[in-house]
Amino acid sequence: MSTKSEHMITIGIIGKTNVGKSTFFAAATLKDVEIANRPFVTINPNEGIGYVKVKCAHTEFNVKCNPKNSICIEDYRFIPVKLVDVAGLIPGAHEGRGLGNKFLDDLRQADALIHVIDASGSTNEEGVPVEPGSRDPEEDIKFIESELDEWFYSIINKDWAKFARTSDLSGKDLVDALLSKLSGVSVNRSHIIETLKVTKLENLKLMQWTEQDLRVFAKTLRSVSKPMIIAANKSDLPQARNNIRRLKEKYKWAIPTSAASEMALRKAAKAGIISYIPGDSDFTILKPLNEKQKSALEYIRTSVLQVYGSTGVQQAINTAIFDALNMIVTYPVEDERKLTDKNGNVLPDAILLKKGSTPKDLANAIHTELAKGFLYAIDVKRKMRVGENYQLQNNDVIKIVSSTARPS
């Protein structure tokens, strides 16, 4: 029997050592990881669940939801995504320096990357603490991008002449051939089609590609298949402000971040000291505080929240999912009047799909059997029937009508 085919999005948390990468991961997942001020403290990839945050559809229907695959806090739905905190990277990783090979292997399954950098410039290229402001954080972005580009190039370039000759002579489809060569790095057909188009290589025989073509293809494919968000960490330090301003002008997704502040707020909320929803721009104090707690929370409020609007941790995850990966949220239901599944749970599931997905794609994400017998769908908000070519919109509530029942 076919099974549920929903794939959990995987985000790799990357960066050199000592920039707050493990703190970012711990704050996002509240999983206890070893956090220490020394290189290679993260050796095995720490995997955890983070969440993407959206306004829950229950707010539009004035009902109380019973989430099953996600969590609802007040008016926000938190949908799980997998976070992998990857071993810290040092220059020369693609040649196997440090934990380079391990780092790259851990990244294979990532759909997107969050690159945590030290925006205050207080760690050198090897991750050793230096005077704040003495290191240009942009150097770290360039170095990581270069390491990843070299990694992609080494995979594509391996046995290239033989591969190109065999593929061209067999008349194999160009996309199929490249897909088989790159199957190990979570590259899909649309990534390859887009990269061929951007690099204008789609009409060239593989044997005609020059080394420069290979390098451009590798670099473009890396940015298409592993889009990268910059989490400009340590944003609370005064030296970070100008750097963040500069990075925001230059990079599409540069998010001011204070992972340590997010960690403190989540722990305080867990202990019932404050009321705080991840990603919020403020918090409410619920219990009497001692002086130390008071000044710590006040520092976060004035140096982070009032300056940037949030700690950036939740925003970085949301940006990865909705901007870099271009996803939307849909809510499948079985009873369109009560908004429930067969067990009476209201708006039970929130499913992440690529923008441009159809009701049939949604059916497939729920269960392959449901997609096989797909007849039509009902757009619950507009109370109308839609066909398999309808493009789902963000926050759509959809009932799938299929000739095959969804297996329990």
pLDDT score at 96? 54
pLDDT in tens, the chain (408 residues): 233 444 689 999 998 888 889 899 999 997 654 444 444 444 455 788 999 999 999 999 999 999 999 999 999 999 999 999 887 665 555 555 544 456 666 788 889 999 999 999 998 887 888 998 899 999 999 988 988 898 889 889 999 999 999 999 998 899 999 999 998 788 999 999 999 999 999 999 999 999 999 999 999 999 999 999 999 999 999 999 999 999 999 999 999 999 999 999 999 999 999 999 999 999 999 999 999 999 999 999 999 999 999 999 999 999 999 999 999 999 999 999 999 999 999 999 999 999 999 999 999 999 999 999 999 999 999 999 999 999 999 999 999 999 986 655
Separation of alpha carbons 309 and 1, rounded Å:
48
Integer distance in angstroms from the first to the last C-alpha of the chain? 12
- Specify the pairing of strand 10-14 against strand 112-118: parallel
Encode pLDDT of 93-123 as tens digits. 555 554 445 666 678 888 999 999 999 999 8
Report the alpha-carbon angle 328-184-145, nearest 5. 70
Contact indicator for 81, 321 with CB cutoff of 8 Å: yes
CB atoms within 10 A of CB 67: 20
Structural domains in the chain, CATH included, are: 8-135+226-320 (3.40.50.300), 147-222 (1.10.8.470), 331-400 (3.10.20.30)
pLDDT score at 290? 95
Nearest to 228 by CA among 342, 340, 140, 330: 140
pLDDT score at 101? 58
Per-residue CA distances from 215 to 1, 60, 150, 222 (Å): 43, 49, 8, 11
Separation of alpha carbons 319 and 222, rounded Å:
18
DSSP for 230-277, written as a single string: EEEE-TTSTTHHHHHHHHHHH-TTEEE--HHHHHHHHHHHHTTSEE--
pLDDT score at 60? 95
Identity of the amino acid at 97: R
Separation of alpha carbons 348 and 58, rounded Å:
10
Helix (H) or strand (E) holding 297: helix 291-300
